[in-house]
Amino acid sequence: MKILLTAINAKYIHTNLALRSIRAYIGQYGFSATLSEYTINQPFDDILASIYLQAPDVVAFSCYLWNISLVRRLCVELKKLLPSLHIWLGGPEVSYNSGSFLRENPAVDLVLIGEGEETFRQLLSSLNEGGNPTDVPGIAYRASGAIYQTNPAKPMDLAALPFAYEDLSAVKNKILYFETSRGCPFHCSYCLSALTPGVRFVPLAQACSFLRRFLQAGVRQVKFVDRTFNCNPAHADGILSYLIQNDNGVTNFHFEIAADILADSTIALIQSARKELFQFEVGIQSTCAQTLEAIHRSCNNRLVFQKVGQLLAPGNAHIHVDLIAGLPLEDYQRFARSYDEVFALKADMLQLGFLKVLKGSAMEMEGKRYGIVAQEQAPYEVLQTDVLSYSDLLRLKQIEVLNERLHNSGRFRASLSYLLNKTASPFHFLEGFAAELSRLDRWGNAWGKYDLHCYLYEYAQILWPGEHDLIWYMRHDLFSRENAKGIPPLLNQSLYVYYRASIEAYRRDEKGHSSVSKKNSHIEIYPFSPITGEKGLCALLYQ
């Protein structure tokens, strides 16, 4: 029996943990499976042909928001080509409406509900022995034209899970996903993790032994998928301590945390780590107390801000904070306030996301009382609420693009900081910039590499006529990130010609040989420091 586990990732750099975990788990019981990974950007016909040519007896898809439409199409065509093929689906996109999903998708034979490892093993045993799937808990399936659903499966003992990755050398430069817990202690109404009570942990010693493999292989990045990594301080501290003590100087580890419950011991460990060893994602979502109460999010934002500030202070860890637009009771202006308050933290990245009303989530039912209307198909994104119109959301979408391009990209770090120091509200600055781009009909067009520099400079001239220092900050941003060639005329000013002799003298040592390579470095003269803003000539060496 040939089993094909099929992952369709959002990007090439991503990997699928769920199917790897299933493959490793069933391997302990004598079952083998092939894993094929694709991306949503590959041509549909290429994916279809690849699966068909492998001639599987069972094909199992891992289903998420980003791939469910593609998976549905593949199932239909595969069933035509291979009528006897068993098509099984699992994952969050099919686990909470399994019966209706099977009725709407007749090419699909079976859905695994919830955790898949033990359920998959039992299904294979049943199939091998010619048994009835009614004996397998945690599935929905079709038989004789009817849809059936068995009793829920028992939660997995996470100590029974083997290491999921077979060959780390083949994926060492991709993002590798890893878990040391399942479940979440919180009950946010928009999140499917809230539906599973309690939190289970991989034993600490076992988790560290798995992490040792990543470290020994020198992989690029490991992203923990634990919903709230620090919900058990002893467990979190044990993991962090191990990673600090065994740091290979290469691998980066990413965690999702709840900042308000960060223990002092955890903060101390983080502050002691090598620069760029860790990065943390903090879901703030809103600073509106009424909104947080409406979504059942127990959170002390005063503590969140305090603890995030402690994480940011040493500058050794990348801190990523999240906001969600379209939540109950938060209108456009109140969201603007949330944005400004969170932006003031000066985190490395601020992600502006939009509410997704996931099938099976509490928000699917509770959202009606707040007038929440969402897209019918994945990604089920909010269209409007009783306090936020679709027009408001369209404006927020534009602001999200500018937030991503100007702030999160890091390409305008000095420039944006300089401009925002002149304004009271980062949100309204971006709002005004978005409106100006709309007035000039610049949305919808593909922006060139330096178009946004020109547009931003033009907008600054509207707000502050005669503003000229911005150009120097933009030049600093460019040279800090790249060997900027072919820069637009706007940014082509330089003091180099006035200080050529001094620069050349610096480049030569007492023997007349070059001490600083011209090929790999660049010296720029500024009328002030673009780093501190201090007035007076400033020379910076970029390498």
Residue-wise pLDDT tens for the chain (543 aa)?
Answer: 899 999 999 999 999 999 999 999 999 999 999 999 999 999 999 999 999 999 999 999 999 999 999 999 999 999 999 999 999 999 999 998 899 999 999 999 999 999 999 999 999 999 888 878 889 999 999 998 899 999 999 999 999 999 999 999 999 999 999 999 999 999 999 999 888 889 999 999 999 999 999 999 999 999 999 999 999 999 999 999 999 999 999 999 999 999 999 999 999 999 999 999 999 999 999 999 999 999 999 888 999 999 999 999 999 999 999 999 999 999 999 999 999 999 999 999 999 999 999 999 999 999 999 999 999 999 999 999 999 999 999 999 999 999 999 999 999 999 999 999 999 999 999 999 999 999 999 998 889 999 999 999 999 999 999 999 999 999 999 999 887 777 888 998 888 888 888 888 877 754 455 555 556 678 899 999 999 999 999 999 988
The total of other beta-carbon atoms located within 10 Å of residue 192's CB is 19
- Which pLDDT score, from 0 to 100, does residue 517 have? 58
- Which pLDDT score, from 0 to 100, does residue 510 have? 47
The C-alpha atoms of residue 238 and residue 523 are separated, in whole angstroms, by: 46
| Beta pairing class for 252-257 and 278-285 | parallel
Q: What is the pTM of this model?
A: 0.93
Q: Is 321 exposed, middle or buried (0-12, 13-18, 19+ CB in 10 A)?
A: buried
- Which pLDDT score, from 0 to 100, does residue 516 have? 56
Which residue matches tokens 């223990």?
263
Q: What are 124's two structure tokens?
A: 């294979």
Which residue matches tokens 């969600």?
324
Please report, for residues 316, 332, 366, 387, the alpha-carbon distance to residue 393 in angstroms, rounded to integers and kept in the order given: 35, 8, 20, 11
> Of all helices (H) and strands (E), which one includes residue 490?
none
| Beta pairing class for 175-178 and 181-183 | unpaired
Which residue matches tokens 């996931």?
358
Which residue matches tokens 């919180």?
186
- Which pLDDT score, from 0 to 100, does residue 518 have? 58
The C-alpha atoms of residue 176 and residue 182 are separated, in whole angstroms, by: 17
Please report, for residues 293, 332, 449, the alpha-carbon distance to residue 397 in angstroms, rounded to integers and kept in the order given: 25, 12, 21
The C-alpha atoms of residue 406 and residue 456 are separated, in whole angstroms, by: 10
Which residue blocks in 28-170 are alpha helix, DSSP H?
A: 44-53, 68-81, 98-104, 117-128
- Sign for the CA dihedral angle at 58, 59, 64, 65 comes to negative
Please report, for residues 40, 70, 113, 221, 378, the alpha-carbon distance to residue 88 in angstroms, rounded to integers and kept in the order given: 19, 15, 11, 30, 20
- Which pLDDT score, from 0 to 100, does residue 483 have? 74
Specify the amino acid at residue 437: L
* Phi/psi-derived region of residue 114, left when phi > 0, alpha when psi is between -120 and 50, beta in every other case: left
The C-alpha atoms of residue 419 and residue 415 are separated, in whole angstroms, by: 6
